[in-house]
Structure 1
């Protein structure tokens, strides 16, 4: 079973050198390179992203530009102009690839990728935004900056309110926020943050409550949680990685992590291996492997149970991104049929109120049925299982409508045959 779990994930990395490629895909079991994304500049810190199962995106390290590669191609899309209003300092997209948020200095820009519209320009931070993260259900996203502030935004409010405001504002960090990550339970999951002030905070995005503060002896630079949200991994500027068990939290909100001489502490395990700041962490879906990247250009793949390094992937420059990703078939197909439609990005918001057409791409379905309500109800009622409560309800409603039509027809016939005929007879007698 573990073998099946291993084969469905790969590792994506990027570094600041771009000597041979801008980003690469690796087999985490062997450390061998599977594919590369070339012919572009180096990518900025944590800007490497996957757009669903179709594209790889990343922001230029020095220029106001975003690159897009098809998942199966070394070459970026040449006829797509993704120019931004300034150099991107952080980047994140919804898991389905519908929206992308880019931080440019202290401002946030939200685009809809299918038509390239700039939907919102958010300005809430006082200093440069250093990290962005979307929840797994795309309903909310968080921004953290060098001002130590963290804002949680509702995507719905940002899209629909004229002047959207954050759902929650957190000001518990006193130094720049270096990394953010939502848990795997969507908006009901946890939000973790780390800062150079040596603290790691765990928040409840729904209520806006601070649940836990972990205080360490060194500045923190990266954070990650496993899919069960049971283990929290924190990367430090000295190269150490801490593993903390969230299922056995301390009684108080604030907890000072004290490491013993043997390198461990109660409830905490230390992973020693890096010699410089750990800037990126990611955990495999089966919670067995951890991947970490440092400013010295090393990517380590760890066995979490034994906290030993399984293999090391060396890069030419400081790591800017590393994470586990699903091993989509599109990584190796010859003819890519993307689910997403991409357009050039607007640099100025278009608030004219005009309707915009959106191209809908679907597979194995007649496109004329997409907006046809009957195709989802009447035509499919007979094909839905008889035990489906929705199907039963639809059938009952159709029968009720048929009965009402018969009653209306009978009332009409009665009116014609009796009331109108009697009126005609009375007229004839007079």
Structure 2
């Protein structure tokens, strides 16, 4: 059986029309440059690692129109251009690429279904433009940040939303200016959330769904999320543009306007201190004195990719704390860096034109995203289906169909043809089928363990009875 080989690729974009650059994270070689792209911060995403989607910077601050571009993998020119009702800045998608969520300059949040392009839902989330969007690791919660300084946690899955009395679960209004970045850790509703802002006190705040911490310059307070109380204070020497959470969640990195990436401990004692301040255990810097604009970890969690104001991308080894590669994206500041997997196939790379034309013949394009909700009532209920695995207590027949049913659906889709939309649905069904089989194996193991336990108890009882 042939094993598909992949490589990790760093994708970077800027607010200038410099396109999207794709670099091999191991060698630094540029693999591809996607043309005609000027994306705002948090406006570049990978859609199931088969497509790339980017919102576009609006022509002027007074412009009421915007666009979203779609690229197929390995194709330098955008396939589809969508025109939403307003300029969109941040984008996020769920893991299997079923949905795209976008934040508008008016404070609205939009939810699109990828396969059909339908706008399923639009709601007013903030008083000013949305700047950040992120999903929790189980994709049950959506966290948004905005120019109004608010960070809100929205219920994204159907089970949680049905039980809720209102759409958002939590509202944090301690920031006073624009939220610049949000990241979340593992644990679903118990995850760590970290956000940064342009507040004049230069603070970053991080949350636990059970514990909430605000990091505010020169002010020491403690909060609890469930009770709205502050937990921890960290004083940064510089304003923070971007944050990245270590996969082990022991530390996080905060990229500052002073050109340093501060290393902050999440597990250290409150009395720990360094020359940078309480809880800050160190800093990474190349003495360039140019602002850090965005951060992303490699899939291995060892390499930290940083975008900078000077248009360069610096890749750090977090173990040695050294720069291992420096890449040039453009002359303007880098607004986004993401790390994705890309198939390693030298033949396809050397025959890109042939592959491009073949893909046009064999697969249709993703449909453009709708401008308006098709329903006459924006508040009509909608159904989201996520492929994330819920806890055992929430396993239902609706979430886990039998593997035979899923295999039948996969076969039907393959017979219908490999269009872009059906391929995404095919990928989703394969993920659900795999997880259903894993769940079946877990139940078999539990049954076997229980059977063995009962057998051992009977044998022990028999021996004890005979001994008496």
TM-score category of the 2 structures, normalised to the smaller one: 0.7 to 0.9
Distance in 2 separating the partners of 1:276 and 1:228:
28
* Equivalent runs, 1:375-414 vs 2, <5 Å: 388=444
> Is residue 253 of structure 2 the alignment partner of residue 233 of structure 1?
yes
Question: In the alignment, is residue 48 of structure 1 matched against residue 44 of structure 2?
Answer: yes
Runs of 5+ consecutive residues of structure 1 not aligned to the other structure: 1-5, 393-430
**Which residue of the partner structure matches residue 149 of structure 2?**
148
SS of 2:88's partner is coil
Note the C-alpha offset of 1:224.
0.6
Equivalent residue runs for 1:275-424 within 5 Å: 275-314=289-328, 315-328=330-343, 334=355, 342-351=366-375, 365-367=410-412, 388=444
- C-alpha distance in 2 between matches for 1:144 and 1:237: 20
Structure-1 separation of matches of 2:94 and 2:364: 12
Q: Does 1:131 align with 2:151?
A: no
Larger Rg: 1
Matches within 5 A, 1:60-139: 60-62=56-58, 64-77=66-79, 80-105=80-105, 106-139=107-140
Q: Distance in 2 between matches of 1:336 and 1:230?
A: 44
Deviations 1:16-59 (CA, angstroms, capped at 9, x unpaired): 2234xx11211122221011212x33122221100002100101
Q: Measure the CA separation in 2 of the matches of 1:364 and 1:329.
A: 29
Q: Is the 8 A contact 1:191 1:202 kept in 2?
A: yes
Secondary structure of the structure 2 residue equivalent to 1:367 = helix
SS of the counterpart of 2:157? helix
- Deviation of 1:280 after TM superposition, in Å, equals 0.4
- Tell me the distance in 2 between the aligned counterparts of 1:214 and 1:321: 26
TM-score normalized by structure 2?
Answer: 0.68
Separation of aligned partners in 2, 1:166 and 1:240: 35
Q: Could you tell me which residue of structure 1 aligns to residue 181 of structure 2?
A: 179
1:82: how far off? 1.6
Task: Supply the distance in 2 between the matched residues of 1:303 and 1:363 (Cα, whole angstroms).
Answer: 46
TM-score by length of 1: 0.73
1:53 and 1:207 map into 2 onto residues whose CA distance is: 34
In the TM superposition, what is the alpha-carbon distance from 1:215 to its structure 2 partner?
2.4
Distance 1:268 1:363 in 2: 54
**For 1:190-213, what per-residue CA distance to the aligned partner results, in whole angstroms no more than 9, with x for missing partners?**
111011232222212367625544
Pairwise CA distance, 1:276? 2.3
With over 3 angstroms needed to count, the CA separation of the structure-2 counterparts of 1:184 and 1:37, relative to structure 1, is farther
Structure 1 residues 302 and 98, CA gap change in structure 2 (3 angstroms): same
**Deviation at 1:146?**
1.6
Count of residues in Structure 1 that have an aligned counterpart in Structure 2: 365
Going from structure 1 to structure 2, the CA distance change for 1:348 and 1:15 (only over 3 Å counts) comes to same
Q: 1:34 aligns with which of 20, 25, 31?
A: 31
In 2, Cα distance between the equivalents of 1:139 and 1:48? 22
Q: Deviations over 1:254-275 (max 9, x none)?
A: x9x7635xxx987511111242
1:267 and 1:345, CA in 2 relative to 1: closer, same or farther beyond 3 A?
closer
Q: Distance in 2 between matches of 1:133 and 1:194?
A: 13
Aligned-pair Cα RMSD in Å: 4.0
Matched residue of 1:214: which SS?
A: coil
Equivalent pair of 2:243/2:252 in contact (CA under 8 Å): yes
Q: Secondary structure at the match of 1:366?
A: helix
CA deviation vs aligned residue, 1:174-228 (integer Å, no higher than 9, x gap): 3221100111444432111011232222212367625544221221110011211
Sort the Cα spacing of 1:126 and 1:24 in 2 relative to 1 into closer, same or farther, 3 A.
Answer: same
